[in-house]
Each structure stands twice: as C-alpha cells, then as structure tokens.
Structure 1
C-alpha cells in the first residue's frame, strides 16, 4: 500500500473483490463451523454450503477472528508502508469481532483506530469504500475515521427472512422478538437499529413483504444521491427482481450492487434472505 493510512475491514463487509483490490482494502475473515469443521469465510466455505447445511438441519455456528489474526493484518499493513490503520467492523452488538480488533490494536506497530460501524454486509462495505477513498486522497487517520462514521450515519439496512428461527438459534434476536414472526403466515421485516437487529413490520405474505421492503427502500433513498446493495441467500431471482424495481424507482441512484451474502450472515438468517442497504453519498 502506498498510502499512509491503510483500511482494514472484516469478511462480513461482502465487498466485491474488484473493489477491494482497486482500493487496497484488506478483509479479515470470520469463521464458520460446520459440524466440527472450522472454515474461513470467503476462502474455505460458501454461502451455498451453509444454506444446504441449514436445510439439512446440520449444526452451523460462527466465530470472530482471533486477536492474533488482526495483529497479523496490522503488521502486514505497517510492513507495506502504512503509518496508521483504520479498522472498520460489523456491529459489536452482534459479534465479538470489534473486541478482538481492539485487543490487537493495543500492540500494533502503528496507530490503529478501530471503529464499530454498527453495520454489516454492504452497509459496512460502503463505509470501508468511503474510508479508502479518503485515505487515497491523503486523508489523516482522523479524517478517514470521520468519513467512515459519517457514511455509517447515512446508511440503513433492512431485510426480509422467511423465518426468524435461525436468528433466534444464533442468539441474534431474543425469544420475545422471535415471537414477532411466529404467527401463522406472518412474514417479518427487520432493520439494523443501534447496531442491533430489530423488528420493523409484520406482513401477511412473502410477496407483500418484499413489495413493502421495496417501498421502504425507495422512501429511505428519497432524492439521492444514494448507493444501494441488494443481498440474498439462495434467492437470486427475488434479489434481481428487487434490484430491477429499485433501479426504476430510485431517481438518485448512483451505484447498485447485487450479491449473495457470505457464509457468516447466511448462517444466522437462513435461506430466503433478501436484504437491502441504502447509503447516502
């Protein structure tokens, strides 16, 4: 890296590889445990494998990166010439990843600013992209952190799941919240609020829930300019339909990303997930 500030995130940012390479962003992998086998997200396990395991009711759990893994990433950035690191991660409310990064930062060879973005998936990815752009322009550590935090403040994430059971099993929502979607034929819409996964609305059918999700994203986007990401797990047709509709309806749309989530988020949401991220530029 030729710039003075390196940007590091984690594998749940789900940034396209071309964007990571273009901007020199490093992603530290979380781990998915299938049965008794621990596998790194992004290189050793796919979202599709996780979806299949969940459908077969196999044990699927996740774990944060170790502080040692983060320490190695910080050393590598310093060895490549960085004089400081901004380390941006998924919400500390739903993962211990931030805590592991903070531990590693204490002994890093260069100053490291660890940021809990309160986000996940491309809601985190957009923060990392903005941070990298400011770093490329010669921004200081403080300027890069401020840019990432401002992007996070202007970003919202909404999602639909076929069932809340996977989120409940993984401890990402409580039993009381799980009751929100337990009634017959009720389909839940959720949002990231304060870094936590919170119920948003109940809709009677999947088709109506996805139509409502579309409306919510359009309302949030307003006049733009905004970037949007549509995520899914084992539901590419649904995701593409939503993306096409948003392309038609959001006047200020800048970039639109459509992608399957990775194994870690997939393990907690289950097949059928449709997520939408709206991020003001």
Structure 2
C-alpha cells in the first residue's frame, strides 16, 4: 500500500483525478490495495479504481481506450462508466507451451500437468469473468499450435473493433510472432497490430513460449 500511496500522492495533492486499473480481483488483491491507498490519502472521491476483470494486455486494451477518453477531456467518472461497458467485450486468450508453470503457480493440478506433458498438450487459456479457464487443447510443436490457435479465432476476429489488436507473448521465437502478425495483417481487419512482451507475473505463471491475441469485440 505504501508504494500505491507514493504513486498517487503527487496527483492527489495537486487535486488531479486518477483512473487506475487493477488485475482481476479474482487473481490479485491489487485493486483493494489501491482503494485503501486512496482512502489513506483522503482522495477516494478523486481516485477511481477499475477492476479490469483481466490481466496483461487485456488490461492494456482498456487503458488505451481510457487514455483516448482522457485526451478528449472526459472526466474520471465518465471514463469509468464507459470502461465498465467495454469490459465484457475484451477478448483475452493465449496458448502455453507447457503446463509446468501453471502447475507451479497453482493454476492446474499435478495430474493435468503430467498428462499434458506426456501427451504434449497445449491448452488455450481464456480469461472470462475475471478468471482463467482452459478451453480447446492443441497437440504438436508450439509453433504450429500458435498458428492453429490464431486461425481458429478468425471468425471471432472478424467481429472485432478495428482500431487495434495485440500480440502478447513471453518470449516466443520471433519467426512465430512474425507469422502471427502476417496472418493478422492478411485478414485486413485491424488498423494497428501491436506486439508486446508479457510482464513478469504472467510470464512466470505461463512459462516461455506463451502467446496470445487480444482485442475488443464490437
């Protein structure tokens, strides 16, 4: 909480409004920490904390939209209202190379991790309602799996808002990332294709070779 207070303090003392985003409350207590920090600073009325119900670039998509609104002189309350409407439309998913890291982080049991290793399974993890859930499982080498995962999304991608799409990964082969980018470009849906590296928390839970494609649905 001390770190959050130090971050907020100069803006709070200047009378500025703050809109901040937390990782899904189902995965982290960071949002509550931010609220407590706002209370300690006596600025709860000016510091708005949004539970993103997401993680990584799933949050980033919302932050970009909020930044555009702020640039257009929307108030903090107006931004929060619009972001709450957008939250259900964020589509965040990814495939992992190994279940080992999800097991170590408590996200899957030992039997599932062992079976996945033996069968060389690569699950598609979808963030829904603030939680991570496994959906389709792929088999084969991760480079092929990643492309199959992206191609399976084509129908849904065509229903996406066209402004931007993120390719987020935890250190995939650059050739694989380039193929994903080329495929998305070929679809001719998005004005902007952005590549980002997953942060330390996501990378340590999912392991190297993880890649996701994230966007906002119409």
The answer as to 2:39 corresponding to 1:106 is: yes
The 1-side partners of 2:205 and 2:136 are apart by 19
Q: Choose from 193, 214, 217 the match for 2:128.
A: 193
Q: Choose from 144, 152, 161 the match for 2:87.
A: 152
1:96 is displaced (CA, Å) by 2.0
Residues matched between the structures, number:
213
Aligned to 1:184: 119
Aligned to 2:194: 257
Q: Give the 3-state SS of the residue equivalent to 1:254 in structure 2.
A: coil
RMSD of aligned Cα (Å): 2.1
Q: Choose from 222, 246, 269 the match for 2:206.
A: 269
1:93 is displaced (CA, Å) by 1.5
Aligned to 1:47: none
Matching of residues 84-233 of structure 1 within 5 Å:
84-110=17-43, 111=45, 112-174=47-109, 178=113, 181-205=116-140, 206-226=142-162, 227-233=164-170
TM-score for both structures, normalised by structure 2 = 0.87
1:162-191 CA distances to partner (integer Å, 9 max, x unpaired)? 112211211234557647734412221111
Aligned to 1:248: 186
Q: Give the 3-state SS of the residue equivalent to 2:32 in structure 1.
A: helix
TM-score for both structures, normalised by structure 1 = 0.69
1:174-209 CA distances to partner (integer Å, 9 max, x unpaired)? 557647734412221111111111101111213442
The 1-side partners of 2:112 and 2:9 are apart by 41
The answer as to 2:212 corresponding to 1:278 is: no
> Using a 3 Å threshold, how does the CA distance of structure 1 residues 156 and 190 change in structure 2: closer, same or farther?
same
Structure 2, unaligned runs of 5 or more? none
The 2-side partners of 1:177 and 1:184 are apart by 10
The 1-side partners of 2:11 and 2:115 are apart by 44
The answer as to 2:12 corresponding to 1:78 is: yes
> Using a 3 Å threshold, how does the CA distance of structure 1 residues 109 and 194 change in structure 2: closer, same or farther?
same
1:28-66 CA distances to partner (integer Å, 9 max, x unpaired)? xxxxxxxxxxxxxxxxxxxxxxxxxxxxxxxxxxxxxxx
1:213-238 CA distances to partner (integer Å, 9 max, x unpaired)? 21243222224433210111221322
The 1-side partners of 2:152 and 2:86 are apart by 19
Aligned to 1:35: none
Moved more, 217-226 or 153-162: 217-226
1:102 is displaced (CA, Å) by 2.1
Higher fraction of strand: 1
The 2-side partners of 1:202 and 1:136 are apart by 42
